[in-house]
Amino acid sequence: MSSSISYRGRYNEPVPTSNLMNDEADFAEFEAFEDEEATPRAPSSEYSLEVQQLEMSQSINKPNHLTSSYDLQNLVIRRGQEFMIRVTFNRIPEPSDDFQIEFLIGANPSLIKASLVVVVFGPRAGEGGRWQGRVLEAQGGGALTIGITPAPDAIVGKYRTYVAVSKGTGMQRSKRDATTDLYLLFNAWCPEDPVFLPNEAERQEYVLSDYGTIYQGSVGAVGHRDWVYGQFERGVLDACIFVLDSSRMPIYNRGDCIKLVRKGAAMINSQDDNGVCVGNWSDDFSLGRSPTSWTGSARILLQYANTGTPVSFAQCWVFAGVFNTFLRALGIPCRVVSNFNSAHDNTGNLKTDLIFKEDGSPDERNTRDSIWNYHCWNEAFMTRPDLPPGLGGWQVVDSTPQETSDGHYRCGPAPVAAIKEGLLCHPYDAAFCFAEVNSDVVFHKRDRYGALTPYRVEKTYVGQNICTKSVGSSRPYDITHTYKYPEGSAEDEQTMSRAEEYGCVRDHSDVPETPLVVTITADQVYLGQKVVLQVLFQNRGNGHRVIQVQLAGAIVYYTGVTAYRLRDRSFSVTVPANQSVTEFVTVAAEEYAPFLGSQLSLYFMVTGRSDGQSVTAMKLVDLKTPELTLMVSGAPRVKQEMFVSVSFTNSFSFALMKVQLSMEGPGLMSSRSRYYSSIEPGAVITWKDSFYPRLDGVRVVVAVMDCSNLRQVWGVIHVVITT
């Protein structure tokens, strides 16, 4: 877009949308006062004050601001909290000396928009803006230690720093010096900052932890994988600022965490705006890396910043992982959340409609809704001054591109409390999130003419096991109760009717009563083992029943979409009055393995018909895979050489082809990969590599092995590094 043409008559000055300065210098080194230009005057003092040096006191500030982990030469601080700088003058300043510290962000910095901040000392002290300044210590020879407290709503990003001395006819300013640039972040430790989080353990986890666990799999068999957020790795913070610049977000709005997280949700996916990650839910990833092959976010963000082009490919946990890095890098408390049986309804109502043929088999052609095995999004913690009281706290933000979220590819921030209460009349996208966790599943029978008759409504299937990593451990923390009242409680009914008042279309199908109940259970098995389904038929009626059973099995994507239909089975079961019968159905590995491709989910639907009544049960079986084995050796000390080995044994009967093995340890080693053209049955691979720890404490190395016929075999090892 030729913005230079289009905006000529639109703004006095273009709105800066980049953190960078423009080509011109910020200010003249000597800036004459406008009212003095015509009448130059001799310096007011014969021995005038001159700035000799400006030091950013990193070794004091970084530990105080908990920013030592950032792999950056420049100062990184959090807003609303004092930091120190040391200014050395040519002599000891006197009370009459008039000087100021200036902080500038973006092009054409503006005092009124707070992209230029001035902290004034001397006779005019206090005249500046909302950042506080004080002299902490005056040393001999003219060195001052100065404390500066940025406003708790200051613009977040990279500032340039100057010291300017008033000289009677103008301001004498220090030279531009890139080493005095500083990064200002949101501050979860500052009670005045809207992202303030009171609990220290939570702050450690949700702001400072640079790796975490993302839950996947299925209800009742929740799996997990570790993900390296890597927000402190070299270049990552700059990449996050690049994401904002790339979005053309006005600098002036970058202190507002609501606007910033909403912009982030739009930018982490590539749709609309050439954002960070390209979604791909197929099994053809030949034009990029498969979503399952990444070990963490850093490599993705760095590639985006280096090339300016979207990175291929991502699925929901990748979007959520990268978004988490973006938020933590900027200082916003956040976490990745998984919702199991997540409804993705194209029309955004509260019904997920599943359609069955007259014989009881699933009618895939006419079923448009799907239920994702799981879906990951993020929560960010902040106050919501734009909303009525009670809606601050955790906010759902989701960067996975969803068609129905307000027509654009982003979602949130939606208050979790608003979802729980059914208060869907507030921004942003609360109704959409509400449907993801609260949809009813409606089972329809489709007759020969195409007419649909609902025969069953399942109110508890969708939105189970909503969980996130526990603070300080890798166990899942179930937060379903923060999204929903217990099913059937009075509060739940109130939430549902409130949601209905706000336009959510609920199911009110009049489904026939039936004394029949069918349920499926299955043990979790490894890939290559047989799957045994226990199908329990209950007859709560007083007559015995002959049930015609149709069992349909399929290999499904994690989005619930069928990749391959397995052979259907039909049989009949006779259940006496008020009794139960369990049928065991075994699916041998040979029956599913040839069709697995890279998917690891089997999905079974059983429909039983008796006397014109139908019942249906669904069961997702996630196949487990072996893990990688990681070992470390060497002295676990900062900057000392260490070694890590990753090994894998192919215990399958088939060869793994075109295998990519990657590993990464935040604070230890950046992401690295190896390629194996094939790993034959029975073969063992081992990869040993060296690294030099940069950060101390409990660190991890995460490794992932990925190939086109077996996805996401992973492993992790923890190691304690000392200084």
| Contact window for a copy of itself (CB under 8 A) among 266-274, 457-465, 531-539, 631-639 | 266-274
Task: Report the site for a copy of itself in 208-247 (rule: CB under 8 A).
Answer: 247
Give 66 or 355: the residue with its C-beta nearer to a copy of itself.
355
Question: Which residue of 73, 347, 489, 574 would you call a contact of a copy of itself, by CB under 8 A?
Answer: 347
Tell me which residue has tokens 């993900």.
227
> Could you tell me which residues are beta bridge partners of residue 466?
none
Closest approach of a copy of itself to the CB of residue 119, in Å: 12
Nearest to 402 by CA among 441, 463, 346, 440: 346
- What's the 3-state SS for 245-313? HHCCCCHHHCCCHHHHHHHHHHHCECCCCCCCEEECCCCCCCCCCCHHHCCECHHHHHHHHHHCCCEEE
Site membership for a copy of itself, residue 612 (CB under 8 A): no
Site for a copy of itself in 652-691 (CB under 8 A): none
Of the candidate residues 20, 561, 593, 638, the single one contacting a copy of itself (CB under 8 A): 561
Q: Which of residues 271-300 bind a copy of itself (CB under 8 A)?
A: 271-273, 278-284, 287
Binding residue (CB under 8 A) for a copy of itself from 86, 91, 113, 718: 113
Decide: is 502 part of the binding site for a copy of itself (CB under 8 A): yes
Q: What's the min distance (Å) between Cβ of 489 and a copy of itself?
A: 24
Q: Which of 54, 144, 431, 552 binds a copy of itself (CB under 8 A)?
A: 431
Q: Tell me how far, at minimum, the Cβ of 58 lies from a copy of itself, in Å.
A: 29
Q: Kindly provide the residue ranges of all beta strands, DSSP E only, lying in 680-709, ordered along the sequence.
A: 684-691, 697-707
Residue 142 CA, distance from chain mean position? 48
Q: Give, as ranges, the residues between 116 and 155 that touch a copy of itself (CB under 8 A).
A: 116, 118, 120, 124, 127-128
Q: Which of 50, 71, 82, 406 binds a copy of itself (CB under 8 A)?
A: 406
Residue 324 parent element (H or E)? helix 316-329
Shortest distance in whole angstroms from residue 6 CB to a copy of itself: 5
Looking at residue 433, the DSSP 8-state letter turns out to be: H
Closest separation in Å from C-beta 537 to a copy of itself: 24
Instruction: Pick the piece of the chain touching a copy of itself (CB under 8 A) from 54-62, 258-266, 569-577, 705-713.
Output: 258-266
Contacts of 449 (CB under 8 A, 6+ apart): none
Burial label, 482 (beta-carbon count in 10 A; 0-12, 13-18, 19+): middle
Chain centroid to CA 11: how far? 35
Site for a copy of itself (CB under 8 A): which residue of 154, 355, 602, 701? 355
Q: List all residues 6 or more positions away from 665 whose beta carbon is below 8 Å from its beta carbon.
A: 228, 644, 691, 699, 700, 701, 702
Q: Are strands 83-89 and 51-55 parallel, antiparallel or unpaired?
A: antiparallel
Applying CB under 8 A, does 629 fall inside the site for a copy of itself? no
Shortest gap between Cβ of 665 and a copy of itself (angstroms)? 31
Round to whole Å and give the CA distance between 419 and 426.
10
DSSP string, 26-62: SS-SEEE-GGGTTS----SSSS---EEEEE--HHHHH
Distance in Å, CB of 399 to a copy of itself, minimum = 13
Rounded distance, CA 227 to CA 701, Å?
Answer: 10
Quick one: which of 19, 166, 395, 614 contacts a copy of itself (CB under 8 A)?
166
373 lines the binding site for a copy of itself (CB under 8 A)? no
Q: Can residue 394 be called a binding residue for a copy of itself (CB under 8 A)?
A: no
427/678 Cα distance (integer angstroms)? 51
Place of tokens 């101390």: 696
Q: Which stretch binds a copy of itself (CB under 8 A): 64-72, 105-113, 132-140, 671-679?
A: 105-113
Assign 115 to helix, strand or coil: coil
Which residues have C-beta within 8 Å of that of residue 551, sequence separation ≥ 6?
A: 533, 535, 568, 569, 570, 571, 585, 604, 605, 606
Q: Which two tokens stand for residue 471?
A: 């603070």
Query: Quick one: which of 41, 130, 175, 368 contacts a copy of itself (CB under 8 A)?
Result: 368
Kindly name the residue from 257, 316, 334, 411 that is annotated as catalytic: 316
C-beta of 193 vs 233, nearer to a copy of itself: 193
User: Rounded to whole angstroms, how far apart are CA atoms 610 and 163?
Assistant: 85
- 10-29 residues in contact with a copy of itself (CB under 8 A) are 10-13, 15
Residue count, binding to a copy of itself (CB under 8 A): 91
Q: Which is nearer to a copy of itself, 10 or 639 (CB)?
A: 10
Name the token pair of 195: 């992202």
Strands 669-679, 710-721: pairing kind? unpaired
Closest to 117 in 3D by CA, of 83, 154, 145 = 154
Q: Is the Cβ–Cβ distance between 659 and 678 less than 8 Å?
A: yes
**Between 5 and 720, CB nearer to a copy of itself:** 5
For the question of residue 504 being annotated catalytic, the response is no
CA pair distance 117, 170, nearest whole angstrom: 18
Stretch that binds a copy of itself, among 111-119, 528-536, 612-620, 691-699 (CB under 8 A): 111-119
Tell me: does residue 42 bind a copy of itself (CB under 8 A). no
Residues 71-100 touching a copy of itself, rule: CB under 8 A, are 100
- Considering the rule CB under 8 A, would residue 414 count as an interface residue with a copy of itself? no
* One of 23, 24, 35, 46 touching a copy of itself (CB under 8 A): 35
Stretches 89-97, 249-257, 466-474, 642-650: which one binds a copy of itself (CB under 8 A)? 249-257
DSSP conformational letter for 269: B
Q: Which of 65, 224, 375, 444 is catalytic?
A: 375
Residue in 91, 426, 459, 672 binding a copy of itself, rule: CB under 8 A: 426
Give the pair of three-digit tokens for residue 259. 């606007």
Catalytic hit among 98, 193, 398, 429: 398
Q: How far is the CB of 1 from a copy of itself (least distance, A)?
A: 8
316 is catalytic: yes
Contact between 444 and 452 under an 8 Å Cβ cutoff? The reply is yes
Nearer to a copy of itself, 223 or 392 (CB): 392
CB neighbour class for 198 (10 Å; exposed up to 12, middle 13-18, buried from 19): exposed
Q: Which is nearer to a copy of itself, 408 or 718 (CB)?
A: 408
* 112 in contact with a copy of itself (CB under 8 A): yes
d(CA 93, CA 138): 9
**Which is it for strands 182-185 and 75-78: parallel, antiparallel or unpaired?**
parallel
CA distance 399 to 337: 12
For a copy of itself, give the closer residue by CB, 67 or 614.
Answer: 614
By the rule CB under 8 A, 562 interacts with a copy of itself = yes
The nearest distance, CB 250 to a copy of itself, in angstroms, is 6
Q: Which residues of 521-539 are buried (b: 16+ CB within 10 A; e: fewer)?
A: ebeebebbeebebebbbbb
The span of 104-112, 210-218, 231-239, 673-681 binding a copy of itself (CB under 8 A) equals 104-112
State yes or no: is 508 an active-site residue: no
Measure CA 540 to chain center: 46
**Residues noted as catalytic:** 316, 375, 398
